[in-house]
Amino acid sequence: MGKFDSKVVIVTGSSSGIGEATAIAFAKEGANVTVTGRNAERLAGVAEKCRKAGAKVLEIVCELTKFESLELVINKTVEAFGALDILVNNAGSGIMGPVEKMELNEYEELMQLDVRAPIFLCKYALPHLRKTKGCIVNVSSSFSTRAYPGMVVYCLTKAAMDHFTRGLASECVADGIRVNTINPGMVVTRFMDPLLSEQDISNFRKDFSATKQPLGAVPKEEIASGILYLCGATSATGTSLVVDGGLGIE
């Protein structure tokens, strides 16, 4: 038997990276999983891996910057599985470059995906989580407490997510719903593809790890393990679990 046998879990942004690793980890622990993403082919591949681990899986191809998708993800999950126990808000994007060169459409898309989407997914999930005494994990970043040139607005969105998580935890504690964040350091995944070239990613990984993150890039599987830990830690709410490869000791 797995630690999350028959629990119903939503993992957004689960077609690759941290979301993929998290969905598979829950599947291996007996959960029923909803996976979401924009790329149908990659999402189907992740769903198949979850099924091979023994899970029942619901695939939802959607764009979470479209407001109507948010309630749809929650409703379809409850329709398919009859309940909701865990929401993992993992989907996100970033902007690389100075504020002076940022365009309005880039800013709006970032805020819609990194801030608006998790907030309203939580809103629509709460009535169902209240019934199951469930929990929420918001995937933030260790950059939430730091300001890096060229990543200012991304850092802002993650600071907002940390503060939102603490506030929501205080609102939900009486209902038995726990809300936490996990704050990864640099994890090299498809997340960086739209931001940097392949060579830039290689250089960024090497240089950043050497100068800022002494233990190197964090494996996505370790972040997934941290998420599962928070979902099973019945005394943790309103907290941030930092897994940053030593970034915080500089």
Q: What is the pTM of this model?
A: 0.91
Residue in 109, 116, 105, 171 with CA at minimum distance from that of residue 138: 116
Give the catalytic positions in this structure.
154
First to last CA, the chain: 42
Architecture of domain 8-249: 3-Layer(aba) Sandwich (3.40)
Q: Which two tokens stand for residue 150?
A: 């060229």
Indicate the domain borders of the chain: 8-249
4-26 mean pLDDT: 97
Q: Please provide the average confidence, as pLDDT, over all residues in the chain.
A: 90
d(CA 44, CA 165): 30
- Whole-angstrom Cα distance, residue 67 to residue 105? 16
- The answer to whether 88 touches 227, Cβ cutoff 8 Å, is yes
CA-to-CA separations, 186 to 24, 136, 147, in angstroms, rounded: 21, 22, 14
Residue 203's pLDDT band, with cuts at 50, 70 and 90, is low
Q: What are the backbone dihedrals phi and psi of residue 89, each rounded to the nearest 5 degrees, phi first?
A: -90, 95
